[in-house]
Amino acid sequence: MSLRVSDLKVHYRTLRGDVRALDGVSFELGDAEILGLAGESGCGKTTLGKSLIRMDGRMRHVGGTVELDGTELPIGDDRRMNDFRFHEVSLVPQYSMSALNPTRKIGKMVGELLRSRGVTPDTAKLLGRLDAVGLPHEVLDRYPIELSGGMKQRMVMVISTLLDPSLLIADEVTSALDVSTQKAVARALAGFRDNGFVKSMIFITHDISLTYQIADTIMVMYAGRLAEKAPARTIVEAPRHPYTRMLIDSLPEVGVRHADRRLSGIAGSPPSLLDPPAGCRFRDRCPLAFDRCAEEPPAAEIAPDHFVACWKA
């Protein structure tokens, strides 16, 4: 088992009180597994990704543990986490355009970054990685502004994984890209796992159809909690949580036309996490809600590797 997250709680401090962005999330991630993390804006997926590598000033670790390869990560301790960052856990952020230093040529920037971590740059390895994502070696002599969005995103992916981290967190890496570039970038990312550059990966996106293409397991979150986690095929073909079902039904597939079949969204909006209601957080929007939903449903394993937090599952 590569990563084990137990009852993780991370809150945002605001003037009006704590926003419970992550409110008791538990899951495990196996070796060589790609976990797709899906959900609406504000469901806590980015907070989960950030918690595993670097919490920003407003975030507070309230409870729960994160264990990576048998070692507990000191996620609440910014300074002690430095030993793990990039060596053990690494991140590919959403906006690669702002992740690269615009005043340095890329090769020089990579060298500076590595030395700042006390690592001697290994040119042969770097060039090998560029080949792996299909970037020409000349990019090292260019400034970030000379690269296209897809190239920058792949460059950041190469830099993030140069130290062969165990866990890679890819947060919405393709959301600013076109479909064909998106495909190339997503495949390159899956290639990192196949080639053993990273051991396991958390792929965060709001696009379930994209997650389905590269993830082994999909975890759907809702309002700071886990709604459903299952192998990618199961989530898409036999979802059990009403939220997952409605989310998948709201996706316009190529071939579905408004004139033939009317898709519908999910009425209502997620509850405020400032003071979330007790019980199942989806129950106000759920067509199957009944009395028992006032109690919080546990994430029960209804089939091997299929966890659902719903009384009706």
Partner 1 sequence: MMLRLDNVTKVYKVGAFGGKTLTAVDGVSFDVPEGQVVSLIGESGSGKSTLGKMILGLVPVTAGSITLDGAPVRPGKEYYRHVQGVFQDPFSTFNPVFKADRVFQLIREAYFPAATAADWDERVRAALRDVRLDPDQVIGKYPHQLSGGQLQRVLIARALLLDLKLLVADEITSMLDASTRIDVLNLLAEIKGRGLGVLYITHDLSLGNYLAERTVVLRHGTVVEMGATDRVFGRPLHPYTRQLLSAVPRLHAPWEDAEPVTSCLYHDGGATGGLAEAGEDHFVACARLEGCLEERLGGRSGGRLEGRLKGR
Residues that bind partner 1 (CB under 8 A): 40-41, 134-136, 148-151, 178-184, 186-187, 206-210, 212-213, 236-237, 246-248, 250-258, 262-266, 269
Q: Exposed e or buried b for every residue in 117-143, given b needs 16+ CB within 10 A?
A: eeeeeeeeebeebbebbebeeebbeee
Q: What tokens were used for 230?
A: 């299952």
User: Among residues 70 and 255, whose Cβ is nearest to partner 1?
Assistant: 255
- Find the helix packing angle between 149-160 and 106-116, rounded to 10°: 20
Cα(first)–Cα(last) distance of the chain, in Å?
27
**Closest CB 71 distance from partner 1, rounded Å:** 35
The residue type at 272: S
**Closest CB 231 distance from partner 1, rounded Å:** 13
Alpha-helix residue ranges (DSSP H) falling in 36-105: 45-53, 78-81
Please tell me the distance from the alpha carbon of residue 287 to that of residue 40, in angstroms, as a whole number. Answer: 18
Q: Are 230 and 218 in contact (CB under 8 A)?
A: yes
Map residue 16 onto helix, strand or coil.
coil
Helix or strand holding residue 113 (H, E): helix 106-116
**Closest CB 148 distance from partner 1, rounded Å:** 5
**Closest CB 217 distance from partner 1, rounded Å:** 15
The residue type at 211: T
User: Among residues 85 and 187, whose Cβ is nearest to partner 1?
Assistant: 187
User: Among residues 3 and 310, whose Cβ is nearest to partner 1?
Assistant: 310
User: Among residues 163 and 266, whose Cβ is nearest to partner 1?
Assistant: 266
Which residue shows structure tokens 């004139």?
A: 259
Q: Strand 217-222 vs strand 300-303: parallel, antiparallel, or unpaired?
A: unpaired
The residue type at 208: I
User: Among residues 82 and 272, whose Cβ is nearest to partner 1?
Assistant: 272
User: Among residues 79 and 258, whose Cβ is nearest to partner 1?
Assistant: 258
**Closest CB 246 distance from partner 1, rounded Å:** 7
Q: What tokens were used for 257?
A: 């036309």
User: Among residues 248 and 293, whose Cβ is nearest to partner 1?
Assistant: 248
**Closest CB 249 distance from partner 1, rounded Å:** 9
**Closest CB 172 distance from partner 1, rounded Å:** 12
